[in-house]
Amino acid sequence: MSRYDLIHRAAVVAEMIKALHQARSWCGETHIQKAIYLLQSAAGVSLGYEFVLYKHGPYSFDLATDIASLRSANIAVFVIPIHGYGPSVQLTDIASKVFEELEGFVRPFLRKIKFIADWFGTNDVRYLERLATAHYVKLQHPSEEAYGLATKLRGLKPHISEPDALAAVRHLNEKLGALKEERPTVRRVS
């Protein structure tokens, strides 16, 4: 899988952060991880991140490093909106200036980014874990039926109940169908 350089990957990640906030997401690092995972693995936006199955589902250490790079460059900050909850990742005012020249690069991905951000919306990390792990399992077993995928999902994540695993697989299939129906619009620049 080819890999874009940091500035191009970061432009897409920043656009996802912006879209997640517009969809009223908490937009913690787990939200970003799962959204980028599905953007790459389900929507076909090949950024080059490698994901492994980790504590809360698919996780990319490279993506975590890129998010840390955004923080260290003062493009993103961690904010704790509610005491006792994890941080929300927010873009700073300089983010738009930094990525201004990359709008053309990001533009073809905007519909898919918005689709996934709207899909995730106000869902919590438990939902995102189930959903992203269901997709991870589906990629490993593409011809498996919903019940089989739910069983395999529970084999990897025994804390997920059978009804929740099956619901995650079914919801994933429904949304993947809707994602495939998304047609990009071609706009000519004059």
Each residue's pLDDT tens digit, 129-139: 999 999 999 99
Q: For residue 190, is it within any domain?
A: no
Position of tokens 């994901």? 51
Residue 187 lies inside a defined structural domain of this protein: no
Residue (of 41, 35, 38) closest to 16 by Cα position: 35
The answer to whether residue 186 sits within a structural domain is no
Check if the beta carbon of residue 89 is closer than 8 Å to that of residue 76: yes
Do the domain assignments include residue 10?
yes
Once rounded to an integer, what is the mean pLDDT over residues 174-190?
A: 65
Render pLDDT for 72-86 as a digit per residue (tens, 0 to 9).
999 999 998 887 778
Per-residue pLDDT band for 187 (boundaries 50, 70, 90) equals very low
Say what the pTM is. 0.91
Note whether residue 189 is domain-resident: no
| Statement: residue 11 has pLDDT above 80 | yes
Q: Check: CB of residue 52 under 8 Å from CB of residue 131.
A: no
- Whether 188 is in a domain gets the answer no
Nearest to 12 by CA among 37, 187, 24: 37
Confidence of residue 186 (pLDDT cuts 50, 70, 90): very low
Three-state DSSP string of the chain: CCCCCHHHHHHHHHHHHHHHHHCCCCCCHHHHHHHHHHHHHCCCCCCCCCCEEECCEEECHHHHHHHHHHHHCCCEEEECCCCCCCCEEEECCHHHHHHHHHHHHHHHHHHHHHHHHHHHCCCCHHHHHHHHHHHHHHHHCCCCCHHHHHHHHHHHCCCCCHHHHHHHHHHHHHHHHHHHHCCCCCCCCC
Query: For the chain, what is the mean pLDDT?
Result: 91
Is there a contact between 113 and 19 (Cβ–Cβ < 8 Å)?
Answer: yes
The domain of 75 spans 6-181
Residue 62 has pLDDT above 90, yes or no: yes
Q: Examine residue 1 and state whether it is found in any structural domain, yes or no.
A: no
Domain count, the chain: 1
Give residue-wise pLDDT tens across range 119-172.
Answer: 998 999 999 999 999 999 999 999 999 999 999 999 999 999 999 999 999 999
Distance CA 13, CA 31 (A): 11
pLDDT at 2: 62
3 pLDDT exceeds 90?
no
> For residue 16, which amino acid is it?
M
173: tokens are: 């299939």
Average pLDDT of span 1-30? 92
- Average pLDDT rounded to a whole number, residues 97-120: 95
**Residue percentage of the chain with pLDDT more than 70:** 94
Q: Does 1 score more than 60 pLDDT? A: no
Evaluate whether residue 85 is within a structural domain.
yes
Contact 38/114 with Cβ under 8 angstroms? no
Contact 26, 88 (CB under 8 A): yes
